[in-house]
Amino acid sequence: MLTEREIVATLEMVKSEHLDVRTVTLGLSLLDCAGEELAAVRRRIAERIQRTAGRLVSVCDRVAQKYGIPVVNKRIAVSPIAVVAAAFAPEELVEIARTLDAAARAVHVDFIGGFSALVEKGMARGDRALIAAIPEALAVTERVCASVNVASTRTGINMDAVLRMGEVVKAAAERTRDRDGIACTKLCVFANIPEDIPFMAGAYLGVGEADAVINVGVSGPGVVRKAIDRALAENPALDLGGISEIIKRTAYKVTRVGELIGREVAEALGIPFGVVDLSLAPTPQVGDSVGEIFQSLGLHGIGVPGSTAALALLNDAVKKGGAFASSRVGGLSGAFIPVSEDLNIAEAARRGILGIEKLEALTSVCSVGLDMVALPGDTPAETISAILADEMAIGVINQKAAAARLIPVPGKRAGERAVFGGLLGEATIIPVNCGTAENRFVRRGGLIPAPIHSLRN
């Protein structure tokens, strides 16, 4: 027998607190689509996506309606294209990106991830070609997302790849100059990239995964914030240990919803269920913000002293709640702080409370990294590489995923606004300290060795 309280609380979570399943992402192996003839590879990829993902959107919509929980996005993550299409030249890889884009459009998914390469230890021919193709591929497509893993705790940081990615980020921005460098919003540079992320732009299907798998990304920063606010209204003296408990319980609930929806979609499609990724992923709407949680915790805004501790508390409690709710938790699982996609974080950046240095500190305790950060257009490629290297070091040393989605906005300076639209939002361009100075460190290249696993301090 259900209680009135359970029913009303559920309705409120959906209606007022933006509880939803942020994405159901179909992971799809394309490894057996590989070949040497471009037209045949493109045909096989298109057919595979159409055949496996054809019903994805309709099934998600039906399950969403059954439970009254919106499934906001339906997406596809494919095997790393640098492996699938290792035989091809950059211009041919752009054609494959077009195939992915058209296939995604045909099955009505909003993003397809996996235009990716794994180069944490070295670059093979296919990797070099794919990386060279990224700026053009992201400029001529709408839905394709790219990621490049340049570092890992096991192997260290491939600084040659980091240096190259600085150039690629700059080129991608330049190639979409008329849209504030929007291509860069679809490009992540990673350390320790998980193989089962359902969230974009980092989603791809790892080579250790099955033919197809359903991974689910759940969110709910609004639900967490309201739960904290309610608890504090009932007991204003609640301490941080008590708040952590509230966040854990809320994360538990949100994760359970994700698993329920994911398992049912997977069963209907006849595809194994993979993981729930419980990440507090904001959208540019009031009430759906990670930044607002900081204010509920008692901080003036994200970026002020205390923010790193607050984020550590939040991220850890989310992971604990998620891990208790489901034994199939994976992906990034934690809190995201994408600057342009969160109204409150974007505002903190605009007011100067949050700079790139504090953002970097925050990424050492949250689940991703420097995400959707708009930088001055004149930031040189080697400075971009140096920022990437810093972020990769945080991931490698802390044995966690770390990523950077940086947008050097062409023709714009610090303090001006970059507008990407929709879920990607808009942000004030933030300055980079000594951003235009020469950086011989990153130009040295080579491999920063893997970290020592003892003497941990």
Partner 1 sequence: MKKAILSILGRDRPGIVAAVARGLLDLDCNIENVSMAMLQTEFAGIFLVGMPEGVTVGEIEETLTARLDPLGLQVVVKPCTPPGLEEPAVRSEPFVITSRGPDRKGLVAHIAEVIARHGVNITRLQAVFKGGSHPADNLMIFEVEVPEAVDAGTLRRELHAAAERLGLEITLQHSYIFETLHRI
Q: Which residues bind partner 1 (CB under 8 A)?
A: 1-2, 4, 6-11, 13, 65-69, 253, 256-257, 260
Report in angstroms how near the CB of residue 19 gets to partner 1 at its nearest: 9
Residue 405 CA to residue 170 CA, distance in Å, equals: 12
Closer of 158 and 255 to partner 1 (Cβ)? 255
Where on the phi/psi map is residue 114: left (φ > 0), alpha (ψ -120 to 50), or beta? Answer: left
Closer of 8 and 40 to partner 1 (Cβ)? 8
Report in angstroms how near the CB of residue 13 gets to partner 1 at its nearest: 7
Report in angstroms how near the CB of residue 254 gets to partner 1 at its nearest: 8
Report in angstroms how near the CB of residue 62 gets to partner 1 at its nearest: 9
Closer of 9 and 31 to partner 1 (Cβ)? 9
Secondary structure element (H or E) that encloses residue 371, with its range: strand 370-376
Residue 129 CA to residue 244 CA, distance in Å, equals: 46
Closer of 6 and 47 to partner 1 (Cβ)? 6
**Beta-ladder partners of 151:** 157, 191
Of 57, 99, 55, nearest to 78 by C-alpha is: 99
Report in angstroms how near the CB of residue 98 gets to partner 1 at its nearest: 36
Which residue matches tokens 């941080």?
240
Closer of 67 and 128 to partner 1 (Cβ)? 67
Report in angstroms how near the CB of residue 256 gets to partner 1 at its nearest: 5
Closer of 275 and 381 to partner 1 (Cβ)? 275
Closer of 266 and 384 to partner 1 (Cβ)? 266
Task: Please count the CA atoms within 13 angstroms of the CA of 163 that sit on its side-chain side.
Answer: 15
Report in angstroms how near the CB of residue 198 gets to partner 1 at its nearest: 19
Q: Could you tell me if 40 and 250 are in contact, meaning their C-beta atoms sit under 8 angstroms apart?
A: no
* Residues with Cβ within 8 Å of residue 2, at least 6 apart in sequence: none
Residue 332 CA to residue 309 CA, distance in Å, equals: 19
Secondary structure element (H or E) that encloses residue 415, with its range: none
Helix (H, G, I), strand (E, B) or coil at 101: helix
